[in-house]
Amino acid sequence: MKLFLDTANIDEIREINRWGVLGGVTTNPSLIAKESSDPDRVWKEILAEVDGPISLETTELEADAMYEQGVELARMAPNAVVKVPMTPDGLRAGKRLVQDDIRINVTLVFSPAQAILAAEIDAYIVSPFLGRLDDVASDGMDLLRRICEIYQVQGYETNVLAASLRHPMHVVEAAAAGADIATMPYAVFRQLVRHPLTDIGLETFLQDWEGLQKELKEGA
């Protein structure tokens, strides 16, 4: 499973990219708005920083306008992936973009039926939102498992991207469910690496090492 960052903040992206585990980035209009900067500049910086797929979201609602916007976004760089919403217009625009060999990410997916539609237009990525389902007392992980199962049974090649992840166990369970990609906020990425026993173990190892150095120096 590839690990993506769900952010438009270039400092967060650069930091995690240095770890060598960053497979790509997902952005959405809310994340772009948080940066209070020109969206084109923000997208270009991210596209240049990370080698993997970078999702850039359309904001037009009508199919023709969404398609035109998608073409423009795709032109920004070869690693750009165009996000379209799961709406009838999103499907129409998405299908045209796919026919132009542009990779698309169908976003705001909350049901297996919607995921089937995304696969039927040959989307590169489908993005079920797990955390937002959990927020309304529904089971986001159950949705992800059902989508992975349906895609396997049907032989769909669309990549399943677990989105709206809120904590490390979401990431672990998404991997067990068979998701192709998990996208997460910076804070969750950092939580993945931390374990108190790692910190305690490292501290003990270093103390013992220093003790040995002292012993050898005194014996010399």
Which residues form the catalytic set?
Answer: 83
Q: Which is nearer to ligand G3P, 6 or 12 (CB)?
A: 6
The rounded Cα 138 to chain-centroid distance in angstroms is: 21
CB of 8 to ligand G3P, least distance (A): 10
Selected binder of ligand G3P within 163, 171, 177, 181 (CB under 6 A): 163
- 28 contributes a contact to ligand G3P by CB under 6 A: yes
Q: Which is nearer to ligand G3P, 69 or 107 (CB)?
A: 107
- 159 contributes a contact to ligand G3P by CB under 6 A: no
For residue 130, which phi and psi values (nearest 5 degrees)?
-70, -55
Which runs of consecutive H residues, i.e. helices, occur in the chain? Answer: 10-17, 29-34, 39-49, 63-75, 88-99, 112-120, 130-135, 140-154, 168-177, 186-193, 196-219
DSSP track, 135-154: HTTS-HHHHHHHHHHHHHHH
- 7 contributes a contact to ligand G3P by CB under 6 A: no
Residues 173-202 binding ligand G3P (CB under 6 A) are 183
CB of 15 to ligand G3P, least distance (A): 19
Rounded CA gap, 129 and 22, in Å? 20
Q: What is the contact surface with ligand G3P in residues (CB under 6 A)?
A: 6, 26, 28, 129, 131-132, 163-164, 183
